[in-house]
Amino acid sequence: MSGAVIVVTGAAKRIGAAISRHLHQQGYRLVLHYHRSAAEAEQLARELNAKRANSVSLVCQDLTQLAQLEGLVAKLIGCYGRVDGLVNNASSFYATPLASSTPAQWHDLFSTNAAAPYFLCQGLAPQLIKHQGAIVNMVDIHAEKGLSQHLIYSMAKNALITLTRGLACELAPQVRVNAIAPGAILWPEQPLTATQKKHILASIPMARLGDPQDIAQTVEFLLQGPRYLTGEIITLDGGRSIQGLPDA
């Protein structure tokens, strides 16, 4: 891993920050993408660079501006002159009831969850092929059946599943492409009621939320993992999908 460079999108907070800290501990150099969370991204970079100098770089970009993603790719490569892995973690998530959803919401949710990962994979493919790299996409356990009141988000994550499996074929054998489908890892930033939380926990055989470190360790596994593993969606939900997926 000495010298290997991993790009993590949406890296400043929550699961993205946990992934970044864990990969840094494994010896990777990181290019961390953020959009609005500048203070958190800068603090994270200071923290990690204090442990290993010049090991983390930051790049700011609004992923909904699809015409600017070619320039973003150039910035990502330019940080260290190479890219060995891509973690498509950035995601918009909020309710879009059918009666009130808008084209702007569609554009936002599909851009961050599907279109931006597509164009980042496209732009970074030559680097990933050159370095026999890997892509890890963050999907969702609700992607295929849909989450109530979140249909646009669910559709976008389903598109990301299709991208994962399609690219696993197109980029083989040089690049492995896999995905993680998390269940309830952290409570969403939009508040849930106590009843909603109880309902979700009751549906999880492990009887608790997951930990962001669970995601981070799985990302590491997929980046380093068996060279024969590609096109897979690893469900990380404490067994929740075994018993069905009740709404929040």
Rounded to two decimals, what is the model's pTM? 0.94
- In the predicted model, what is the mean pLDDT of the chain? 94
The confidence score (pLDDT) of residue 193 equals 87
CA 230 to CA 136: how far, in whole Å?
10
CA separation, residue 55 to residues 21, 61, 81, 135, 213 (Å):
12, 20, 13, 20, 21
Residue 203 confidence (pLDDT) above 90: no
Q: Which of 28, 34, 118, 153 is catalytic?
A: 153
Q: Domain residues of the chain, as ranges? A: 5-243
Q: Which two tokens stand for residue 81?
A: 């002159």
Q: Which fold does the domain 5-243 belong to in CATH?
A: Rossmann fold (3.40.50)
Name the percent of the chain lying above pLDDT 90: 80
CA 36 to CA 64: how far, in whole Å?
12
The confidence score (pLDDT) of residue 23 equals 98
Catalytic, 28? Answer no
Residue 244 confidence (pLDDT) above 70: no
Q: Which two tokens stand for residue 125?
A: 């493919």
Q: Which two tokens stand for residue 242?
A: 């075994």
The confidence score (pLDDT) of residue 197 equals 85
Chain centre distance of CA 57: 18
* Number of Cβ atoms within 10 Å of the Cβ of 19: 29
Q: Which two tokens stand for residue 163?
A: 């991208």
Query: Which range has the top average pLDDT, 157-161, 196-200, 225-229?
Result: 157-161
Nearest to 15 by CA among 126, 138, 109: 138
Name the percent of the chain lying above pLDDT 70: 97
Nearest to 158 by CA among 179, 146, 144: 144
